Amino acid sequence: MKKYNINWCGDVMTKDKRKQKRKRRKKLRIGLVIIVMIYLSLRMLPTFCITNAATVVVEEGSIDVLERTKGIIFKNEVVYRATTNGKIIFNKNEGEKVGLGILIGQVIASDKNHKIAEELNAINKKIEELSNKIKTQEIFSNDIEKNKIFIDEKIDTLRKSILEGNFIKVNQVVKELKLDLDKRSDLFGKNSLIANDLDKLYEMRKNLQNRLKNAKENYYSKNCGLVSYTIDGLEEIYNLKGLSKFTTDKFRIIESNIHKINNELEVSSGEPIFKIIDNYKWYLVVKLGPNSGIDRLSEGKYVYIKFLEKNEKIKGKVYKVNKGSDGYIVIFEFDSYLYKFYNERYVDVEIIINTYSGLKVPKSSVVKRDGIDGVYIKDISGVVKFKPVRIIGQNDKYVIVDTGSKIKVGDRGKIKININGKDEKVYTISIFDEVFVNGKKVKEGQIID
């Protein structure tokens, strides 16, 4: 009986142990599940935070490295001034190109011209009146011819009457002949007087016309270029005489006094009436600081300059670089497009110091990892990966990076970087990669939905 009881107790203890083991295994499994879930939750947490992270597709492009500043335009300008008082009459249009010896305008002396014009008008009226009288007298030329016939007939009758001794007839014919001769004298004498008066009037008119001509002052071009009727008063300050020696202390914006000369304007002696600007060469002077990329603007180098107000980009040559105590004076030379700027003096410009081409990415996408420049891209499976880049140029918004060396077109290129003191070739970004705009918000290995 005791033996039976002992075996039953052993079986009970064995069952309890099995239950405890199952509970422990169950707890262990639950613990493992919890750990896995916690791990996955922690793993997925950053993914949810960057689900909406912005990306851009890598494309080939270029950027300009700019230096924005204000410039002064220097031109070879010749200002012409009035030598008498009067009204200016222009013969050429604003901005028209002219050669040497071309009549640009005239100043008509108003103080003399009025009296001369009145006298000339009076004489012209008198000439017209007398000319009309002569024309009227010529209408009666048949009467003159008839008068001549009557006189000839009376002379014949007078001879016959004398030969016949018919003195009564003679006295009668003499009286008639005298009347015809008086009429003839009137017809021819009046025309002679009119003709004589006309000769005198023509001479007087010629003298007045000469006087009127002398009352006009003609102005001819003494140099070739573009005609301008806008004077700013700075032509003598910003000229080409001392251009090459222009220094930083002379660079200042002087207030201009713009004066536009209109056609038929009354001008005084000594006043500027127009100017002619040489369109062969013109210059832009700017002042740059010591950290403005001046090292890339060597004399003789050609660069593009954008004139902001007119949105024009023009190629110019670095003519001269003068170093000063507080920066540099850079003088650019141009040989075209003056017709767009011939009346400009102060301009806002962007100097395109350099242009870089390659793969274009936002500047905000570039980060440093272990001292290496790179960007984070999203691969085809949505995993964030770091790709090293070699920057070859940048501005305030974008970066141009090297495409790297490739075995064949379409391959991902390799660039050389220094890793732990050794140069190694590694794969870089490629066209059509998706780059995260803000590289500081992602980490390698994250999964993006």
3-state secondary structure the chain: CHHHHHHHHHHHHHHHHHHHHHHHHHHHHHHHHHHHHHHHHHHHHHHHHCCCCCEEECEEEEEEEEEEEEEEEEEEEEEEECCCCEEEEECCCCCCEECCCCEEEEEECHHHHHHHHHHHHHHHHHHHHHHHHHHHHHHCHHHHHHHHHHHHHHHHHHHHHHHHCCHHHHHHHHHHHHHHHHHHHHHHHHHHHHHHHHHHHHHHHHHHHHHHHHCEEEEECCCCEEEECEECCCCCCCCCCCHHHCCHHHCCCCCCCCEECCCCCEECCCCEEEEEEEEEEEEEEEEECCCCCHHHCCCCCEEEEEECCCCEEEEEEEEEEEEECCEEEEEEEECCCHHHCCCCCEEEEEEEEEEEEEEEEEHHHCEEECCEEEEEEECCCCEEEEEECCEEEECCCEEEECCCECCCCCCCCEEEEEECCEEEEEECCCCCCEEECCHHHCCCCCECC
Tokens representing residue 29 in the block: 């499994």
Distance CA 283, CA 320 (A): 10
Phi then psi for residue 416, to 5 deg, are -95, 125
Same domain, 44 and 122: no
> What residue type is 40 in one-letter code?
L
Would you state the pLDDT for residue 7?
52
259 part of a folded domain: no
Would you state the pLDDT for residue 313?
93
Distance CA 36, CA 141 (A): 139
Whether the CB-CB separation of 252 and 272 falls below 8 Å is answered with no
332 part of a folded domain: no
Phi then psi for residue 209, to 5 deg, are -65, -40
Would you state the pLDDT for residue 419?
85
238 part of a folded domain: no
Q: Residue 439: name the closest of 138, 55, 159, 142 by CA.
A: 55
Q: Quote the number of domains for the chain.
A: 3
Same domain, 114 and 210: yes
Same domain, 208 and 133: yes
Same domain, 44 and 115: no
209 part of a folded domain: yes
CATH of the domain at 134: 1.10.287
Q: Residue 211: name the closest of 274, 123, 130 by CA.
A: 123
86 part of a folded domain: no
CATH of the domain at 375: 2.40.420.20
Stated pTM of the model: 0.62
Residues whose CB falls within 8 Å of the CB of residue 367, separated by 6 or more in sequence, listed in order? 373, 374, 375, 376, 439, 440
Residue 11: domain span: 1-49
Would you state the pLDDT for residue 273?
96
Distance between start and end Cα atoms, the chain: 73
Q: Residue 437: name the closest of 384, 386, 375 by CA.
A: 375
Place of tokens 């008509």: 108
412 part of a folded domain: yes
Would you state the pLDDT for residue 375?
95
Residues whose CB falls within 8 Å of the CB of residue 262, separated by 6 or more in sequence, listed in order? 229
Instruction: Using alpha carbons only, give the angle 148, 153, 155 rounded to the nearest 5 degrees.
Output: 95
Same domain, 115 and 43: no
User: From first to last of its 449 residues, what are the pLDDT tens digits of the chain?
Assistant: 444 444 544 555 566 666 677 777 777 777 777 877 776 655 555 544 455 578 999 999 999 888 899 999 999 999 999 988 888 999 999 999 999 999 999 998 765 666 777 777 888 888 888 777 666 655 455 566 666 676 777 777 767 777 777 767 767 767 776 776 666 665 555 455 566 677 788 888 887 777 766 677 899 999 999 999 999 999 999 999 989 999 999 999 999 899 999 998 999 989 999 999 999 999 999 999 887 778 888 999 999 999 999 999 999 999 999 998 889 999 999 999 999 999 999 999 999 988 899 999 999 999 999 899 999 999 888 899 999 999 998 888 999 999 999 877 778 899 998 888 888 999 999 999 999 999 998 999 888 86
Would you state the pLDDT for residue 179?
76
Same domain, 43 and 129: no
82 part of a folded domain: no
Greatest CA separation found in the chain? Answer: 227
164 part of a folded domain: yes
Would you state the pLDDT for residue 135?
63
